[in-house]
Amino acid sequence: MDAITPADASFPLAAEAPVVRAEGINFFYGHGESRNQVLFDNRIDIRPGQLVVMTGPSGSGKTTLLTLVGGLRTVQESGPRFNDPGNMGVRVACATLQVDEPLAAVIFSGALERHRGLKIVLAETGIGWLPYMLERMDDTYRKFLDAPDYWRSQRPLALTMAPSAYFRRQVWATFQTDLAGLRLLDTLGEDRVMWASDYPHADSTWPESKRAIEDNFKDIGAATRRRVLCDNAQQLYGLN
C-alpha cells in the first residue's frame, strides 16, 4: 500500500509542528486463518500543507489511516498509544460521523447544482446521523436566504434549492446496522438508503449478516425492506 510517508523520510519536510501525529499504529485484515497484519507499528507526522495520498487494495489499511487523518486525532508522544482501547474506541465509534463536513462541502459548493447527473454514495457511513444533518443544512440555507443584503455584497450562494433536495436527488447512503436510521426512513427517503455488509472489514456484519438484517428490519414493512436491501442498489448500479 502507498500510504502516508513516515516522518523520517529522506525528503525535506516543512518546519512547522505536525497538525496530526500518531504512533504505534497496527492493523489486521481478515478473519480466522486469513487474518494478516498489514500495518506494523507505523508512525505518522503530517505537517501543514502536506498532501496525503493513499492507494491500495481492500484490506491494506487505507480506512484506518484515513479515519485518523480525517479526524485530526493527535496522539501525543507521551500520551496513550493509538491502538490502546480508548483511542480505538473513539476511532471506531466516530468513523461513520466524519462524512458530515464533506457532504456539506459538496452541496454548499454548488457541485451538485453544476453537475446534476453526478451521483454520490456515502458508503459505510451509517444513516442515523443524516436526518439531523439535512435539517441543519436546510436551516443554514434558510439563514442565508434571510440575509439578502449581505449576500448581495458577496458571491451569491450557488444553490437553487434546499440542501436536502440535492441529497434526495443525487445522494445515497449505506449502513450495516442502524436502528435509529431505519426509524427515520420517512425523513431520509427510503429510496436513498441501501444496506451493505461491509465485508470483509472488521466492522462487517459477516458471518452474521442474516441475523443483523432480521434484528434491524423486524419492524420494517416488506416493500420498504426489499427496497433498502435490494431494489435501490439494483436501480442505482444497473444490476440485472
CB 196 within 8 A of CB 178: no
28: helix, strand or coil? strand
DSSP 30: S
Bridge partners of residue 133, in order along the sequence? none
Domains of the chain, by residue range, sit at: 20-83, 98-237
Nearest to 184 by CA among 214, 219, 236, 229: 219
DSSP 231: I
What pLDDT sits at residue 181?
A: 95
Architecture of domain 98-237: Alpha-Beta Barrel (3.20)
State how far the Cα of 185 lies from the Cα of 130, in Å rounded to an integer. 10
Query: Would you write out the chain's pLDDT as a tens digit for each of its 240 residues?
Result: 334 344 444 434 445 666 566 666 776 766 667 677 777 777 767 666 565 555 555 655 666 665 555 544 444 434 445 556 676 677 777 778 888 989 999 999 999 999 999 999 999 899 999 999 999 999 999 988 777 777 667 777 789 999 999 999 999 999 999 999 999 999 999 999 999 998 887 778 999 999 999 999 999 999 999 999 999 999 999 998
Pairing of strands 171-175, 193-195: parallel
What pLDDT sits at residue 45?
A: 72
CB 64 within 8 A of CB 27: yes
State how far the Cα of 127 lies from the Cα of 121, in Å rounded to an integer. 12
Instruction: State the first-to-last Cα distance of the chain, in angstroms, to the nearest integer.
Output: 34
Q: What is the pTM of this model?
A: 0.68
Question: With the CA atoms of 106, 108, 114 and 118 taken in that order, what torsion angle do they form, in degrees rounded to the nearest 10?
Answer: 30
Q: Phi, psi (5° rounding) for residue 163? A: -55, -40
State how far the Cα of 107 lies from the Cα of 163, in Å rounded to an integer. 6
Residue at grid coordinates 504505534: 24
